[in-house]
Structure 1
């Protein structure tokens, strides 16, 4: 199987997995409420789930590098996710449902560093940006289909959660079947990278011992990512503004979110292709978009507010595709899963800080919010310039450790 076919089939796996867990997440709040949960319980449970999905990667990433069991961790993580979702609809007891919600997020933490490492090997042959962009675009298709499917079944079944979430067992089973077939066809995806980076006359596949620490350029890049993410408005704050200012009814918010996810996919593809042509300089558009979001979205007119939400979608697409591609270019293969775990931890902490910061400033002063976010993104641009300066040295380290 060629590297592009591997990426596309892995994209199908992610599409189907998003079908499952995004479908469930679209109704997690009302489902828990139907079992007697208060708004506080819903907030704590969903917050704990997101913390687990990101924070536990600090463990699963190094574990993947030490054991080299990338396929095993990927399959185990996906299995935990797809097996946790269908029982949610028939849980019947609040604590059981809460445990299943958190278990689904733990599954994402288990698989993500290993999965990203497997993909990074194939993208070495196709182009990092393009490979991760195609995967992200396919991922977002599932994020659209899942919630719409659940909404349709709920409408047909009279708001019965059992059938709505039970139907997700079908794409869940397909996820596991495809994963086992992919592992059988491509047991060693690292061969893609070895072939892509082999030089004429090479007689030994192994280079010098890999560095014990992550490269300095990775930490500079992680700092850039942390800063730009900490100044990034969350969709929760955007949707709150739209409804509270009577710019949009609650029923239309999911439609706008779906439109933002479509923009997400397009932005991922566009910047992924540009990344392979121009390198990290294309990431300069991310702080610019992040600074534009509050300036547009927090107005009192519908059109600019909707435009702000769509710009938010474009920025999210870059965050979830091209940012991951750069990690693979900065870190040698033997340490890459660790890097992805650390990177996810950094993004998780920055996301929490960004949500708290923008939420607090929104309640105090929107002009101050716009000013602060713009200043933060200016700092991010400086850090990106430093990262670009260090990338050449990091690239030599990566090639030497392959």
Structure 2
């Protein structure tokens, strides 16, 4: 079991350094594209296209990883593309080249994520899926917290030198690849592979597709951070420094939430998800209520739900799929979740233009609807407990 913890921690450090790199870069990408003469439409289009392409490609990479039985090849190639694309932005002559690197960065993430999660699930099988993914997500969010702050400091001390800011992320990218190499060496001989495990069945367990439907509804309801920070700045008149600071605090809430709900998942199973949705469902109302105090509280609750998404929701996929099918299972999950997030963000953006409260109603409504689907998953896990009340 100790070897499994070490592997999870090493992969967590890889994610910490990776998030430090690409979240640091993404935090200044909008202003950088504007400096390269990209229009607001182009910035939005490139962001949406790169995210959508990244989620769609996860299904293909997960399938190929399982079929070729070469998960580490996908992990190494994906991380290299994902990480090195960011410092290369320092060299681009125009927004077209920057856009190509944005898509390459998301493509790399799509290539490595299903295989990485499948490898992690082999280790979390021993320590508890919730706890294992929770530890990984906590370290991930430490990087997501410090990366933007580091880039902000570079811009402050070197008079808004964006090219230097991107270039300064090269050391963390290379260090992440080095730790990834150590993780692979430690993984061999310490964690069971799919071939070593004697599976009674191959594929997914009962409840998997209900679980995909549940996570898709949750993705459909998830308010994008860009709308939250826009509302804080434009409608509430917050200072320029406050929204990014709140985002950093939300990332910390994300990390601690991932640990908490991860441990709960190992104790009470899918009921932990129901508890998380009920606790955080009110966050859109808080954010768009017009009160600055409620806006801050809502943003922190948003971070709590994000932590649940990133740890417990991934743990559920491992629980409902067999090891030999897990790359494909994660690919399917990420595909439907990503499409739902993309569609939900588009609809909520339009609703916000009409009336912000409509966005809150849309989000809360789909969160509550997701609980009805989650009941089906709980029914499969605990067939003698059919009442909705048994979710809690």
CA apart distance, 1:367:
4.1
Greater alpha carbon shift after TM alignment, 230-239 vs 137-146: 230-239
CA apart distance, 1:81:
1.5
CA apart distance, 1:379:
1.6
Equivalents in 1 of 2:358, 2:46: separation in Å? 32
Equivalents in 2 of 1:193, 1:2: separation in Å? 17
The structure 1 residue matched to 2:321, chosen from 322, 331, 334, is 331
- Provide the residue aligned with 2:31 in structure 1: 30
CA contact (8 A) 2:80 2:177 kept: yes
CA contact (8 A) 2:258 2:311 kept: yes
Unaligned runs of 5+ in 1: 195-203, 394-402
- Provide the residue aligned with 1:206 in structure 2: 198
Listed as ranges, the matches of 1:75-114 within 5 Å are: 75-114=76-115
Listed as ranges, the matches of 1:82-231 within 5 Å are: 82-187=83-188, 190-191=191-192, 206-208=198-200, 210-211=202-203, 214-231=204-221
- Provide the residue aligned with 1:232 in structure 2: 222
Equivalents in 2 of 1:144, 1:205: separation in Å? 38
| 1:188-236 Cα deviation digits (max 9, x unpaired) | 5651789xxxxxxxxx95344524xx44411100101111221222222
- Provide the residue aligned with 1:272 in structure 2: 262
Equivalents in 1 of 2:271, 2:199: separation in Å? 29
CA contact (8 A) 2:236 2:292 kept: no
- What TM-score do the two structures reach when normalised by structure 1? 0.90
Equivalents in 2 of 1:30, 1:287: separation in Å? 34
Q: Given the superposition, is the C-alpha separation of residues 231 and 82 from structure 1 closer, same or farther in structure 2, using an over 3 Å criterion?
A: closer
The structure 1 residue matched to 2:305, chosen from 307, 312, 315, is 315
* Partner SS for 1:37: coil
CA contact (8 A) 1:124 1:193 kept: no
CA contact (8 A) 1:122 1:192 kept: no
Equivalents in 1 of 2:368, 2:94: separation in Å? 49
Greater alpha carbon shift after TM alignment, 332-341 vs 237-246: 237-246
* Partner SS for 1:158: coil
CA apart distance, 1:94:
2.4
The structure 1 residue matched to 2:273, chosen from 271, 277, 283, is 283
CA contact (8 A) 1:268 1:322 kept: yes
Equivalents in 2 of 1:48, 1:330: separation in Å? 30
CA apart distance, 1:276:
0.5
CA contact (8 A) 1:247 1:302 kept: no
Q: How well do the aligned residues superpose, as a CA RMSD in angstroms?
A: 1.9
Q: Given the superposition, is the C-alpha separation of residues 250 and 191 from structure 1 closer, same or farther in structure 2, using an over 3 Å criterion?
A: same
CA contact (8 A) 2:219 2:338 kept: no
- Provide the residue aligned with 1:341 in structure 2: 331
CA apart distance, 1:380:
0.9
CA apart distance, 1:324:
0.1
CA contact (8 A) 2:30 2:43 kept: yes
Greater alpha carbon shift after TM alignment, 352-361 vs 96-105: 352-361
- What TM-score do the two structures reach when normalised by structure 2? 0.93
Q: Given the superposition, is the C-alpha separation of residues 110 and 206 from structure 1 closer, same or farther in structure 2, using an over 3 Å criterion?
A: same
CA contact (8 A) 2:288 2:357 kept: no
Equivalents in 2 of 1:158, 1:346: separation in Å? 42
CA apart distance, 1:287:
2.8
Equivalents in 1 of 2:351, 2:238: separation in Å? 22
Equivalents in 1 of 2:7, 2:152: separation in Å? 32
Tell me the matched-pair count: 382
CA apart distance, 1:255:
0.4
CA contact (8 A) 1:64 1:114 kept: yes
* Partner SS for 1:92: coil
* Partner SS for 2:350: helix
Q: Given the superposition, is the C-alpha separation of residues 205 and 101 from structure 1 closer, same or farther in structure 2, using an over 3 Å criterion?
A: closer
- Provide the residue aligned with 1:70 in structure 2: 71
Equivalents in 1 of 2:228, 2:96: separation in Å? 31
* Partner SS for 1:248: coil
| 1:109-143 Cα deviation digits (max 9, x unpaired) | 00000000010000001110000000000000111
Unaligned runs of 5+ in 2: 384-392
CA contact (8 A) 2:220 2:344 kept: yes
* Partner SS for 1:310: helix
